[in-house]
Structure 1
Amino acid sequence: MSDTRQQLKQIATEQIRRHTLHAASFREMGKVLGIKSSSVHYHFDNRDALLQELVSDYEQDFFARLEECCADISSPRQRLQQLAGLFIDSHQQQQQCLCLAFAAAGDEASAEQRLAVQQFLRRLEEWVEDTLLRAHLLPLARPELARVIVSALEGALLLDRDQPQPLRLQATSQWLSTLTRL
């Protein structure tokens, strides 16, 4: 993959994670990189193709980071804390979850992109479910609890977005540590 193509993908990802899906226009990406928007078209057939690729890359990168930070951890409590830490890191970088930006975009995202976001969320919920297999839990089924945990983290990141401190994310992280008795 060319350096320019990779730089364009990085710019688009940062624009979306810092702002909205709409911020990733070929014109804006070209402006940031110092090239014409027509040159951006050389690297990507169209904006939808670029956005679809970004979601796929984000999912791969997110789960690679998650697996890396949890590789030697078996404790459900510690694994959930590592997951919360990824969201807190996003806040510190003043970024939202890329998939949250796509979900918030509604009809601006294509059906394929919305499907890819749903796949990311299902995969994240499955990771949480797997993490909870060895935990003693509240009287809520693991699939539902996994959905609540993912929703709490995504929502806290969104609500803390313009705040200097990630108070909701920190509260969510503390709450996660109360869910298991090991």
Structure 2
Amino acid sequence: MTDTRTQILDLAERAIRLRGYHAVSFRDLADEMGIKSASIHYHFRQKHDLGLAVVDRYATRIADLIGPAGALDWPEALRAFCDVYKDALYQSDLQCLCSILASESSGLPDEVADRVAEFFRNNINWLMASLPDNISDKRSQALAAQTAVQGAMTVAVSLKDYSVMDLTIERLCAPLQ
């Protein structure tokens, strides 16, 4: 049986990925769980505390899936990175949590917006660590990969067409084969 805190995090993550940060309330989460909103406040004092916990858990999950920075060479690293996003899309049919939050970043509590930016910086640094030494502008290459995959996920969800993700990944990885 899943503990209450984990259930809250699961519901909050799904709700944010569906509706955005500002459309999620403690009352809605409590109603969905069949508990009082005070029970949500017991685990997360304020909404930004919940937001931070959701982002941290998501970022840790993604980091665990892609593995340590520099552990894979570039073709394998890029494929692993793309596969994490592709699998997330296929399994959930939802947008990346941090992509949704990034689109709302100007209205988020600073701590939450900073944590979302950190998620993307970590991804970019992870990609840069896997690029070969002969690449002169690793940051540009890493940014291109992050934005291509993130953008493809956004468009695929909007169009309800996973081939957008598949084609983008295929094109991104093609020069490496």
The aligned residue for residue 168 of structure 1 is 164
Q: Deviations over 1:46-76 (max 9, x none)?
A: 10111011111111111001118x99x7342
What are the within-5 Å matches in structure 2 for residues 36-47 of structure 1?
Answer: 36-47=36-47
Contact kept, 8 Å, 2:156 with 2:165, in 1: the verdict is yes
Contact kept, 8 Å, 1:96 with 1:158, in 2: the verdict is yes
Contact kept, 8 Å, 1:103 with 1:117, in 2: the verdict is yes
The aligned residue for residue 30 of structure 2 is 30
Report the CA distance between 1:84 and its aligned residue.
1.0
The aligned residue for residue 52 of structure 1 is 52
Report the CA distance between 1:141 and its aligned residue.
1.3
Cα distance in 2, alignment partners of residues 116 and 74 from structure 1: 25
Report the CA distance between 1:12 and its aligned residue.
0.2
Cα distance in 2, alignment partners of residues 106 and 115 from structure 1: 9
What are the within-5 Å matches in structure 2 for residues 1-182 of structure 1?
Answer: 3-67=3-67, 74-92=72-90, 93-133=92-132, 141-180=137-176
The residue identity in structure 2 corresponding to 1:167 is S
Contact kept, 8 Å, 1:30 with 1:39, in 2: the verdict is yes
Residue identity (%) = 25
Unaligned runs of 5+ residues in structure 2 are none
Contact kept, 8 Å, 1:84 with 1:169, in 2: the verdict is no
Contact kept, 8 Å, 1:21 with 1:102, in 2: the verdict is yes
TM-score norm. by structure 1 comes to 0.85
The residue identity in structure 1 corresponding to 2:137 is A
Contact kept, 8 Å, 1:77 with 1:176, in 2: the verdict is no
Unaligned runs of 5+ residues in structure 1 are none
Q: Which runs of 4+ in 1 moved over 6 A?
A: none
Q: CA RMSD in A?
A: 2.3
The residue identity in structure 1 corresponding to 2:78 is L
Contact kept, 8 Å, 2:26 with 2:40, in 1: the verdict is yes
